[in-house]
A and B are shown apart, each in its own frame.
Chain A
Amino acid sequence: MSQLLGKAALLRCPAGTSLQDKGRLAGAQFGIPTAGAMDQKSFRWANHILHNSSNAVALEMAQPGLRIQFDQACQIALAGAQVLVSLNQTQLSNSTLISIAAGDLLEIGAFLTGSRLYLCIQGGFQVERYLGSGSDFESITSPSKRSTQEVLSYIPIPQSNSLGAKPKWETSWFESPEIEAYRGTDWALLSSEQQEFIHSSIFHVSKFSNRMGIQLEELVPNQLEDLPTNPVFPGTVQLTPGGKIIVLMRDAGVTGGYPRILHLTEDGQSKLAQKRVGDSIRFQLIDTITG
Chain B
Amino acid sequence: MIPHYQILSPTFGELVWDHHPTDELLGFQLAYLTYIQSNFLDALAEARQGFTRISLVWKNPKNQQEFLAQLKDLKLPPMELSNAIWQVPVCYDPEYGQDLNSVAESKNLSLSELIHLHSEPLYRIHFFGFLPGFFYLNGLHPLLHTPRKSVPLLAVPRGSVAIGGSQTGIYPMQSPGGWHIIGRSPLTFFDSKQPIPVWAKPGEQIEFVPISAAQFQNWNEPYPKLLRK
Contacts and interface: CB of A to CB of B under 8 A. Distances in A.
Does B associate with A? yes
Nearest to A255: B129
A254 B129 contact: yes
B8 interface: yes
Contact of B136 (A130, A184, A229): A229
Interface in A209-232: 226, 228-231
Nearest to A31: B128
A32 B9 CA distance: 23
A255 B68 contact: no
A182 interface: yes
A231 B55 contact: yes
Interface stretch (A21-29, A105-113, A163-171, A271-279): A21-29
Interface string A228-242: 111101000000000
Interface residues of B, number: 42
Contact of B132 (A139, A233, A291): A139
Given A184-B8, A265-B9, A255 B50 contact: yes
Main secondary structure of the interface of A (DSSP, over half): loop
Nearest to B17: A228
Interface in B135-164: 136
Interface string B89-131: 0000000000000000000000000000000000000011111
A59 to B, nearest CB: 22
A244 to B, nearest CB: 14
A228 B52 contact: yes
B210 interface: no
Interface string B1-42: 000001111101010100011000000000000000000000
A288 B12 CA distance: 10
B129 A229 contact: yes
Interface stretch (B80-88, B179-187, B190-198, B219-227): B190-198
Interface in A120-141: 130, 138-141
B197 A230 contact: no
Given A139-B192, A185-B53, A230-B52, A30 B9 contact: no
A229 B133 contact: no
A29 B173 CA distance: 17
A36 interface: no
Contacts of B131: 31, 253
A30 B172 CA distance: 12
A230 B51 CA distance: 6
Contacts of A130: 192
B45 interface: yes
Contact of B45 (A25, A230, A288, A290): A25
Interface string A246-257: 000000011110
A30 to B, nearest CB: 5
A4 interface: no
Contacts of B190: 30-31, 139
B51 A229 contact: yes
A228 B7 contact: no
A253 B129 contact: yes
Given A182-B8, A228-B21, A233 B48 contact: yes
Contacts of A33: 132
B57 interface: yes
B197 A290 contact: no
A229 B136 CA distance: 9
Given A25-B45, A230-B53, A288 B7 contact: yes
B65 interface: yes
Contact of A253 (B7, B55, B130): B130
Select the residue from B130, B167, B190 with max chain A CB neighbours within 10 A.
Answer: B130
B216 interface: no
A77 to B, nearest CB: 26
Contacts of B173: 138-139
Given A183-B8, A228-B52, A231-B50, 14 more contacts: A30-B190, A32-B197, A139-B173, A184-B8, A185-B53, A228-B50, A229-B50, A229-B129, A230-B50, A231-B49, A231-B54, A253-B131, A263-B8, A288-B9
Interface of B: 6-10, 12, 14, 16, 20-21, 45-55, 57, 65, 68, 127-134, 136, 165, 167, 172-173, 190, 192, 196-198
